Amino acid sequence: MSAEFSVTPQIEPERYELRAPSPYHFELRRRDFFRTLGAGLLVACVLKDAFALQESGGGRRPMGDELPREISAWLHIGENGGVTTYTGKVEIGQNIRTSLSQAVAEELRFPLARIEMVMGDTRLTPYDMGTFGSRTTPTMNLHLRQVAAAARDVLIDLAAKQWNADRSVLLARDGRITDPSTKRTIEYVELLRGQQLTELVPAEDPLEPPAEWTVEGKPVPKVDGRDFVTGKHKYPSDQVLPGMLHGKVLRPPSFGATLASVETPDLTALSGVTFVHDGNFVGVAGPSEETAIRALKSVRAEWRETPDEVSSKNVYDYLKENPAKVGGELGERSSDYELGAVDRALAAADHRIEQTYTVAYIAHAPLEPRAALAEWSGDSLTVWTGTQRPFGVRSELARTFNLPEENVHVLMPDMGSAYGGKHTGESAIEAARLARAANRPVRVVWTREEEFTWAYFRPAGAMEIKGGVQNDGSIVAWEFHNYNSGGSGIRTFYEIPNQRILFHPTEYPLRQGSYRALAATANHFARESFMDELAHEVKMDPLAFRLKNLKNERLRAVFEAAGAKFDWSRPKQPGHGFGIGGGFEKGGNVATCAEVTVDQASGEVHVVRVVTAFECGAIVNPDNLRNQIEGGNIMGLGGALFEAIQFENGKILNPLFSRYRVPRFSDIPVFETVLIDRKDIPSAGAGESPLMGVAPAIGNAIFDAKGVRLRSMPMVPEQLNVA
């Protein structure tokens, strides 16, 4: 273990962070006005530093502040004998409230049921950059184990001192220290006598090896599951304060539109409504949601729209023809890679093929849209909001309202998920802006249409690949270009002596950002589809072809396990096709086999069966891991077969679930999951990488069934040229 403190936040190098401007921003020079209707009060206010809104929220750590190393910053033993743990990570359905509790229970030797996790509260929890990149399990789980182990050691010391006993014979178990020789026993809480553990977490402290785990590694059920099945859990959109108003924001008719004029509405018929116009921001807050909606409808505004030629129909040409004007900004050029002599090897190969693959813009569409409740007290702001980056949202709010960060308190109640789509604080800023004007708490909950339109999207992208392969099936040359979609998972893990791999940042038409598994989905779709094309070129079985070109034992293990469970070589029913795809990213190894049928008349693809083998080191919670693998496959199936944002002239054409198809019950195949538990390898996260194999597996299975190669995600019936 490194002597460096283990949770020092790090940005994963390929992270595709949002860098588009916010859809509106408060103006600097304009004297905005608030008008509280009914009271007839006019308030003037000038906001500074509003351009900070253009950034997605850097979420900087307070300058000069190291992360706390005292045990007490992370773990408290309360006077009632319960344990409270503090972490800036947040629960969004990936079930870390449970898995992190397991980590603490394991090393502290304390009953899981009496551990409470305080998560994502910027006042109570140590700084955390955010919950993304599958970092919670490799960093926070490990860190909390270290904290809990340190706490246990201190407690043993205290008992040894109190009993004048040899510490090496004392046992910590079930929240108490026991001396087996004297049978003396004492509870942790009694040892502390109201004190907290202010000792430092040592840099090195041996942890329980995974093979010895008794709480981690077990299928512990969701710790607060009962609150969810009874409807008691309060999500961000359920938060309420006395006197709270409901806020609504006027949206532009298209992206890039600016406000030309707005009339202050006559709202005499609607009592208690606050109207705010500040720069491009127009919003209302009223005593009920219906009143706020009616007030917003009465606002007359004119917008200056800017025509946009780019649409979902021509987006791929646009991406390839428009390199980014500020290319270096992303830092993703680090994924560029050159090995050997690609051009020469391609020219000399027995077979050469080249293909282009594309992925569409898609929406995260978390079932709970963006929501925030904001309350001011003087110059202090408290916001409850659904975000993966509470500290990032704190920074956004501090910059927007020109406040010191310590005046802003962000709390993140466990939310209705995100999938990489809630790194930003739009609704928090809107609610705070309205609350400032109304002088009352204001809650803003986005509509589904707002969430589909004004959030950000997974980037569309085009991938161009050239490959050279010998008659014996060995790949000798590989050239891979990704335009806009991102650098995550771009490198090939196959043994190829000559490679050129480039990510090309481009200009892009829609606000785009992070998404579960990032570009690894696009890059794996392209690479694993192309691998299939190469295999067919040399008339080899696609699984055997992969194994021939693969040395990495962890990847071989998942491909072999998936193939065995699926029974890859078995005969097929007429009209059925088999496909395989897999890869490695963020510490997770995945291989997925799919069986599909294609309807002869409609071309509709039905996925019959999916087998996924997965390995991410020592398994922390096998049942939750299966849940993530199944869920990831289903989310991946949506992107593979039907999800696509249609847009034209700055407008989203399908911003509703009735027009944007997501996977439903009838789309779900039979799932089988093979878990490989490598207790000798540190645990990695599993919320993202299980997605990567399913799209190429389905595409390859469609080719197997129909002989038609689909190279664009989503793979829709039109591409099959059915009658």
Give the residues lining the site for other proteins (CB under 8 A): 92-95, 221-222, 225-226, 228-235, 237-238, 240, 246, 288-290, 365-369, 414-417, 419, 445, 447-448, 623-624, 627-628, 630-635, 656-658, 662-666, 668, 671
Burial 207-232 (b: 16+ CB within 10 A, else e): bbebeebebbbeebebbbeeeeeeee
Query: Taking the complex as a whole, how short is the minimal distance between the CB of residue 696 and other proteins, in angstroms?
Result: 18
Whose tokens are 């079985």? That residue is 541
Question: Beta-carbon neighbour count of residue 43 at 10 Å?
Answer: 14
> Which pair of tokens denotes residue 523?
């890059």
Check the CA dihedral 497-503-504-508 and report its sign.
Answer: positive
The separation between CA 345 and the C-alpha centre of its own chain, rounded to angstroms, equals 39
Query: Taking the complex as a whole, how short is the minimal distance between the CB of residue 689 and other proteins, in angstroms?
Result: 15
Residue with Cβ nearer other proteins (278 or 368): 368
Residue with Cβ nearer other proteins (416 or 696): 416
Query: Taking the complex as a whole, how short is the minimal distance between the CB of residue 97 and other proteins, in angstroms?
Result: 11
Q: Are strands 380-385 and 337-339 parallel, antiparallel or unpaired?
A: unpaired
Residues 6+ apart with CB under 8 A from 314: none
Q: Cα separation of 369 and 390, whole Å? A: 16
Residues 6+ apart with CB under 8 A from 509: 308, 310, 315, 318, 647
Q: Cα separation of 597 and 366, whole Å? A: 29
Query: Taking the complex as a whole, how short is the minimal distance between the CB of residue 219 and other proteins, in angstroms?
Result: 8
Q: At what angle do helices 426-438 and 390-400 cross, to 10 degrees?
A: 40
Tell me which amino acid residue 548 is: K
Whose tokens are 């049928």? That residue is 597
Residue with Cβ nearer other proteins (250 or 534): 250
Residue with Cβ nearer other proteins (209 or 225): 225
Q: Cα separation of 420 and 268, whole Å? A: 42
Residues 6+ apart with CB under 8 A from 79: 189, 194
Query: Taking the complex as a whole, how short is the minimal distance between the CB of residue 662 and other proteins, in angstroms?
Result: 6
Query: Taking the complex as a whole, how short is the minimal distance between the CB of residue 282 and other proteins, in angstroms?
Result: 21
Query: Taking the complex as a whole, how short is the minimal distance between the CB of residue 290 and other proteins, in angstroms?
Result: 6
Residues 6+ apart with CB under 8 A from 163: 179, 182, 184
Residue with Cβ nearer other proteins (199 or 630): 630
Residue with Cβ nearer other proteins (467 or 581): 581
Whose tokens are 């927007």? That residue is 400
> Which pair of tokens denotes residue 35?
């008008």
Query: Taking the complex as a whole, how short is the minimal distance between the CB of residue 645 and other proteins, in angstroms?
Result: 16
Residue with Cβ nearer other proteins (143 or 246): 246
Residue with Cβ nearer other proteins (600 or 657): 657
Residue with Cβ nearer other proteins (33 or 671): 671
Query: Taking the complex as a whole, how short is the minimal distance between the CB of residue 231 and other proteins, in angstroms?
Result: 2
Query: Taking the complex as a whole, how short is the minimal distance between the CB of residue 152 and other proteins, in angstroms?
Result: 29
Residue with Cβ nearer other proteins (444 or 469): 444
> Which pair of tokens denotes residue 718?
């039109």
Residues 6+ apart with CB under 8 A from 114: 81, 82, 83, 175
